[in-house]
Amino acid sequence: MQATTFKRGLLAAALVAAVGTGYAKLGGDVIRAADAMAAVTAPEPTGSAAPLVRPGVGLPDFRAIVEDSGPAVVNISATGTSRTAFPSGDRRQGVPDLFRHFGIPTPDEEMPSRGTGSGFIVRADGLILTNAHVVSGAEEVTVKLTDKREFKAKVVGIDKLTDIAVLRIDARNLPVVRLGSPDSAQVGEWVLAIGSPFGFENSVTAGIVSAKGRSLASDSYVPFIQTDVAVNPGNSGGPLINLNGEVIGINSQIYSRNGGYQGISFAIPIDVAMNIQEQLLQHGKVRHGRLGVTIQEVSQSLAESFGLKSTAGALISSVEKGSPAAAAGLEAGDIILKLDGIVVERSADLPPRVAAIQPGTTVKLQIWRKGGSRDIALAVGEIPNTGMAAASGDEAENPRLGLALRSLTPDERRQAVSPDGLLVESVSGPAARAGIQRGDIVLSLNGQQVRDVAQLRALLDKSGKTVALLIERDNTKIFVPVDIG
């Protein structure tokens, strides 16, 4: 359909260019204008096989899809602070007074930062999906709807491994998107994106699915949908929509040599995002499965050397000591052919499939070893300390303080000077003005040691207008007064 229309458009353009000469140059061959006109008006060839492209049908009309899905797409603004520093590492030595006189941040001082992105409403009660990198580390998140209403959003939780974040706004009866199946998407089919590139809210771009199941070097746990839809800064977190008006992905990344769109963009499949959303809502955190192996692609030469007839599978190049794979008896040189009966076509297919399995689940691997196949049962482990974080919700419950806190993990307890305390996930309001930072550990409030969020909340309810927090930062402890009014 599109190829025929495009070809005829080229021929028509060539005819216009050839007026007065009787000839047109097309694709390097000089043809007579009359012959070109005959090519345009010639009937479609007949035969028993139906043509793949139907004549007389134009490009798809996206207006109904945009009208239906557009109101559920939101603009997201995230604000926080960042630090300035001399490249050489010199701190405040030799800093001229004019920096302060003109209000310019001095090196190693905090300065406001602001970012924008996109998102979409998945539940009418205010639940929103976006990318983790859009809101990660933000002190304040604002969601703007197409009807110009703005809401302060609470970060329900984020998962940096898959780059998914869940937000909530206090609103009801909101428009929502319809969710589709990424598995049903076909390479070559039309898709469109709605988002806020460079801050231009609710911009629509279209293209086709270029590939499925793409694995990127920095994100091997997500089977990305590759498209040629124009995606730019600000599109992150917006929906990728098929011709049925269903969201099949979240626009997340581009491949670029200059920082701008160059024809290749990647979207996270919506089923991956919904799995993360449910874990965050039900458990407040996300768990990802792991085997504990390093794998590589099976090339034709490797397949022949191992006695395999095809290149399907994932070749194990190393096994981590003490890992689930080591406990199950996997060895370097084994080739994983199937996971729970499903063929591993490429090595890149394995990490996202394993990551989606709940830790502790027993799976069956079919492997190739020394010229024969065998089955091995394996209890899936858990990916440790992946940068996953779930917001505790305490900032919303304790606006007087302006801190979102959580308990320390076992690894964080071992690294901290004090084994007890609460880790600061995000900062805003009074705590931010007092100089408390994300990553600090709150040890006590008004001299009372705090071990959990409920205890801190109870102490805060009994406090006056100013509280003294004992903070641990970089293995150093300091009292910080916070005016909570």
Could you list the active site residues? 133, 163, 236
DSSP 82: E
Judging by beta carbons within 10 Å of its beta carbon (0-12, 13-18, 19+), is residue 114 exposed, middle or buried? Answer: exposed
Cβ atoms within 10 Å, residue 343: 12
Angle of helix 2-17 relative to helix 33-41, nearest 10 degrees? 150
Quick one: which of 195, 229, 239 has its CA closest to 209?
Answer: 229
**Residues linked to residue 381 through DSSP beta bridges, in sequence order:** 290
Name the token pair of 399: 């606006």
Kindly list the distances between the CA atom of residue 172 and the CA atoms of 111, 125, 127, 382, in Å, as whole numbers in the listed order. Answer: 35, 5, 10, 37
Query: For 434-452, what is the HEC assignment?
Result: HCCCCCCEEEEECCEECCC
H or E, element range at 35: helix 33-41
Rounded CA gap, 325 and 390, in Å? 29
Q: Encode burial over 221-230: b for 16+ CB neighbours within 10 A, e otherwise.
A: bbbbbbbbbb
How many residues comprise the chain? 485
Name the token pair of 461: 């309810």
Cβ atoms within 10 Å, residue 319: 22
Is residue 196 a contact partner of residue 204, using CB atoms and an 8 Å limit? no
DSSP 123: E
Is residue 143 a contact partner of residue 196, using CB atoms and an 8 Å limit? no
Q: What residue has token string 């009359």?
A: 34
Rounded CA gap, 96 and 70, in Å? 51
Rounded CA gap, 150 and 201, in Å? 13
Rounded CA gap, 482 and 22, in Å? 83
Dihedral over Cα of 315, 321, 324, 330: its sign = positive
Name the token pair of 240: 């990728």
Quick one: which of 267, 252, 278 has its CA closest to 358?
Answer: 278
Residue 64, helix vs strand vs coil: helix
Residue 319 sits at φ, ψ, to 5 deg, of -125, 125
